[in-house]
Structure 1
Amino acid sequence: MLEDWEKRLSMRSIKDVYSFIEEYLREDDVAPESMQLWEDDVNIISEESLGSLFNIERAIYIDTPMALNAKNLADNVFLQRLHSNMTHSLGRTLDKSKMLLLRIARLLNGKISQSDSLLGETELYYERKDEHLKLPVEKIATGMKTFAYLYQLIKNGYLDDKTILMIDEPEVHLHPQWIVEYARLLVLIHKTLGTKLILASHDPDFIAAIKAIAKREEVLEETNFY
């Protein structure tokens, strides 16, 4: 019954959430003691339970493009989930995504492909346009990886209006001339696909680029800076 399912969601113990945070989200050996979460002026987190977000179906967190390299996954649950998103398709590529994929392919002067290894693992490759060059993604420049993971998430159907994408300091791995292109791509992902974005950055040039491009694309009113 739908009502029973919704009731179970609303009764999830907030203690379970803090236990997860305690295990996976500690920083400098300190975990958050409290949280606030609102959706359309409705408080999702109470003192006892955690409600459900109705406008979000998935959250994707990226703190390093190294998630493209399966050898770096170790026991990190976030890298494992991100790598799975990039190697396993939802079986759909939205028509409005094609422009974004073409834009990234032009920036990379190639595309990202995948195939299964002899060990049964899915591996990602960079194929350079018109040069018959095919390299494992782990061997390409870190800045290119930053665009490659967006390419895969878009192609595999994970970025849509029910997704929140969180990226930590993406400009760190980018050549200065690519910072503006990356900012433009993020704004277009939001405008075209409706994906919600949370970006953490200390780079004034990157922030200025986001603001200027959001204004040009007429989505500045949907953008907040803290």
Structure 2
Amino acid sequence: MLLKIENLGMIDRANIEVNGITIIAGDNNTGKSTIGKALFAIFNALCNSEEKIKDLRGQELNENIQHICMDYFDKEEYINIGLSLGMQLSNQIMYNKNVNIEDEIKSIINHYQVEISEESLSDLQIKIKNSVDKIMNVSETDLQKEFLQRYFLEVFNEQINSLFNVNSTMDIVLTIKNRDIKIKFCNDRCIELEVPYKILHEAFYIDDPFIIDSLNINSLSMPFYIGKNISVGQEHLINSIKKYKYNRLKNKNIFASLFADKSLEEIFAILNDLVDGKILFQDNNISLQSKKFNKPININNLSTGLKAFVILKILLERNILKEKDVLILDEPEIHLHPKWQMQYAQIIVLLQKFFDLSIIVTTHSADFLAAIEYYAKKHKNIDKCKFYLAKNEDNFNTFVDVTKVTEEIYKQMFIPKFHLDELNYELEENEDE
């Protein structure tokens, strides 16, 4: 998978290969996170787009038909007829293209034995039919563009095009199996979209372990995120976990879970060593039941570093993260002790190896980077790793492939340390004087 970007936010250009683990390092404010956000937006906006568009049409049909009915029936009649017409007609139109709209309207009105004049009935039928035709005639491509545009605007806080070259066009080309998804934005509006194949896999964006606290919204101690704005990536992660939390079907994904357990035994061994115990979903709360504690401990009370591993454990145990999905980890080492950074790095390598995930990692840590390199070599997965150095030149951010010369990344990371050594040396000299 190859991601090409031009004029997105602060990024001038980027050619990023994502066929395993892609590590992006560099100074702050060089666009590292933007790469992951772009990939996240593309996958989740276009994933199963046909089903999403079908749901959108059905929802729009239902709401429009109900709104039209409000002008023809009183409150009591509307509750029966308006709601029934909206729901039944929208479902029938979406699943039966040969439905006779006029006959269905008559049938429902007769069923509820509501009187309506011939003139009003004819007028109602015409208005509903015109509304249906208008909605159904909107092309799938236009709906897809609108859906993608709204998703990008949310992800990038309505700043998509270049922040430096106002008149530029933002271009993204995502190549998968020699076929190109092409996206163009001008003035923060999608002006071109080509999707030659279906995207069936989701992307998951993890940038803050504290986000898991928001799942326990009924706990006595107010969660960290209540009242705060959360990003689209964080909202998607929360909703993905909530789907399992509130809609647990005992027999759902049994085979997938069994295959995952067998493939990921080594990963679970690491996770179980760190997250000692069972994660419980009960009483609208998530907690950790462990032999270390007399009773289950609310996840809000876990250490920040432990929450990072709990998120991964939930995604794997509940089969939320699936084979060939995209996983974006924005500076995952921030809250981790160096020892746990090594464990996290090993999990990343094993996840890619056993799940064939496309993983993007941004980092500022030389130790974390070295750990990924080490475990990739140990598990014979180094050929699935790509390393990029983000640079800022004249206010434009570019990305250099340093896979064969990773020392370029380490050199940049150690510059502050060398500078600190110089300062300490100067300090010692001044003290000796």
- TM-score computed with the length of structure 2 as normaliser: 0.45
Question: Retained in 2: the 8 A contact 1:159–1:193?
Answer: no
User: Structure 1 residues 56 and 179, CA, compared in 2 at 3 Å: closer, same or farther?
Assistant: farther
Equivalent of 2:213 in 55, 66, 69? 69
Aligned partner of 1:144: which letter?
L
Q: 1:35 — aligned with what? A: 172
Q: Aligned to 1:170, what secondary structure does the other structure show? A: coil
1:3-22 paired onto structure 2 within 5 Å: 14=145, 16-22=147-153
1:77-156 paired onto structure 2 within 5 Å: 77-89=232-244, 91-92=252-253, 93=257, 94-95=260-261, 96-117=263-284, 123-156=285-318
How far did 1:15 drift? Answer: 5.8
Question: Retained in 2: the 8 A contact 1:183–1:209?
Answer: yes
CA distance in 2 between counterparts of 1:130 and 1:112 reads: 14
User: Structure 1 residues 36 and 221, CA, compared in 2 at 3 Å: closer, same or farther?
Assistant: same
User: Structure 1 residues 50 and 19, CA, compared in 2 at 3 Å: closer, same or farther?
Assistant: farther
Q: 1:120 — aligned with what? A: none
Aligned partner of 1:222: which letter?
K
User: Structure 1 residues 97 and 65, CA, compared in 2 at 3 Å: closer, same or farther?
Assistant: same
Q: 2:369 — aligned with what? A: 207
Q: Aligned to 2:182, what secondary structure does the other structure show? A: coil
How far did 1:10 drift? Answer: 6.4
1:107-148 per-residue CA deviation (whole Å, 9 max, x = no partner) reads: 12323221133xxxxx21122235434211111100000000
How far did 1:101 drift? Answer: 2.6
User: Structure 1 residues 98 and 9, CA, compared in 2 at 3 Å: closer, same or farther?
Assistant: farther
CA distance in 1 between counterparts of 2:264 and 2:344 reads: 16
Equivalent of 1:23 in 126, 151, 154? 154
Question: Retained in 2: the 8 A contact 1:39–1:53?
Answer: no
- Which protein has the larger Cα radius of gyration, Structure 1 or Structure 2? 2
CA distance in 2 between counterparts of 1:183 and 1:192 reads: 14
Q: 2:202 — aligned with what? A: 58
Unaligned segments of structure 2, at least 5 residues:
1-49, 52-138, 162-169, 185-191, 215-222, 389-433
Q: Aligned to 1:78, what secondary structure does the other structure show? A: helix
User: Structure 1 residues 221 and 127, CA, compared in 2 at 3 Å: closer, same or farther?
Assistant: same
How far did 1:193 drift? Answer: 1.8
Q: Aligned to 1:36, what secondary structure does the other structure show? A: strand
Aligned partner of 1:184: which letter?
Q
- TM-score computed with the length of structure 1 as normaliser: 0.82
How far did 1:18 drift? Answer: 3.7
Aligned partner of 1:25: which letter?
F
How far did 1:14 drift? Answer: 4.3
Q: What is the number of residues matched between the two proteins?
A: 214
Q: 2:182 — aligned with what? A: 45
Q: Which moved more, 1:102-111 or 1:169-178?
A: 102-111
Stretches of 4+ aligned residues off by more than 4 angstroms: 8-16, 52-56
Q: Which moved more, 1:134-143 or 1:84-93?
A: 84-93
Question: Retained in 1: the 8 A contact 2:270–2:343?
Answer: no
Aligned partner of 1:31: which letter?
I
CA distance in 2 between counterparts of 1:87 and 1:15 reads: 27
CA distance in 2 between counterparts of 1:204 and 1:145 reads: 22
How far did 1:208 drift? Answer: 1.2
CA distance in 1 between counterparts of 2:268 and 2:280 reads: 12
CA distance in 2 between counterparts of 1:59 and 1:223 reads: 19
Question: Retained in 2: the 8 A contact 1:11–1:50?
Answer: no
1:179-201 per-residue CA deviation (whole Å, 9 max, x = no partner) reads: 00000011111112222211111
CA distance in 1 between counterparts of 2:209 and 2:305 reads: 8
Q: Which moved more, 1:197-206 or 1:76-85?
A: 76-85
User: Structure 1 residues 206 and 10, CA, compared in 2 at 3 Å: closer, same or farther?
Assistant: farther
Unaligned segments of structure 1, at least 5 residues:
118-122
Identity %: 25
